[in-house]
């Protein structure tokens, strides 16, 4: 581990929401409820409900086509929703807004890190030009990060926020494995 990593953060990973098409549905599913696969025993959380399909997130694994998906328990108090899973696919929002097609989930927690220049800064050069320096964070080389698919979350007082990774910037001392990362980050609005 890199010395001087005085903070901790959470690294989240981006996942694509799934469209679960179903047939023979009984009951009324509600966003936020958990469904369970009768054969696979996998679970997922309902994000949105539409006629004939559900938009799902937080999948615990791969569901099996043709299996019964349910909400609740049987026999007591009984299923509040039951249907047959007929198709699964990556969800594509009809408005083509890519932000609603995915969700973020904690991937690595209590990660040693060190934030510096957390809000970014502007500097005026001697010629009067304004330059902006992005926020930065230092991470141990054992973490998994990448642009687009990972983001960093900090709850440290004065350094709290969610940060998009713009560039990973691996740092090497010896060999081909990075000792640390110093990603360029940007506050997510």
Domains of the chain from N-terminus onward: 7-13+104-187 (2.40.10.370), 18-90 (no CATH)
Q: What is the pLDDT of residue 62?
A: 95
Residue 144's pLDDT band, with cuts at 50, 70 and 90, is very high
pTM comes to 0.79
Is the pLDDT assigned to residue 1 strictly greater than 60?
Answer: no
Give the HSE-up count for residue 21: Cα atoms under 13 Å, Cβ half-sphere.
Answer: 6
Is the pLDDT assigned to residue 130 strictly greater than 70?
Answer: no
In 28-98, which ranges are E strands?
34-37, 43-50, 53-57, 68-73, 78-90
Contacts of 60 (CB under 8 A, 6+ apart): 42, 43, 44
Count of C-beta atoms within a 10 Å radius of residue 64: 15
Q: What percent of the chain has pLDDT over 90?
A: 63
């Amino acid at each position: 581990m890199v010395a001087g990593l005085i903070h901790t953060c959470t690294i989240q990973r981006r996942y694509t929401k799934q469209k679960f098409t179903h047939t023979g549905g009984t009951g009324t599913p509600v966003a936020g409820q958990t469904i369970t696969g009768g054969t696979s025993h996998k679970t997922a959380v309902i994000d949105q409900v539409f006629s004939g399909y559900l938009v799902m997130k937080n999948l615990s694994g791969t569901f099996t086509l043709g299996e019964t998906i349910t909400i609740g328990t049987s026999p007591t108090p009984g299923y509040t929703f039951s249907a047959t899973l007929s198709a699964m696919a990556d969800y594509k929002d009809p408005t083509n807004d890519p932000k609603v097609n995915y969700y973020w989930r904690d991937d690595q927690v209590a990660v040693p890190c060190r934030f510096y220049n957390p809000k970014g800064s502007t500097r005026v050069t001697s010629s009067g030009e304004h330059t902006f320096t992005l926020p930065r964070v230092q991470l141990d080389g054992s973490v998994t990060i990448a642009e687009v698919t990972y983001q960093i979350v900090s709850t440290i007082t004065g350094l709290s926020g969610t940060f998009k990774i713009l560039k990973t910037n691996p740092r090497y001392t010896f060999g081909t494995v990075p000792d640390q990362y110093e990603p360029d980050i940007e506050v997510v609005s």
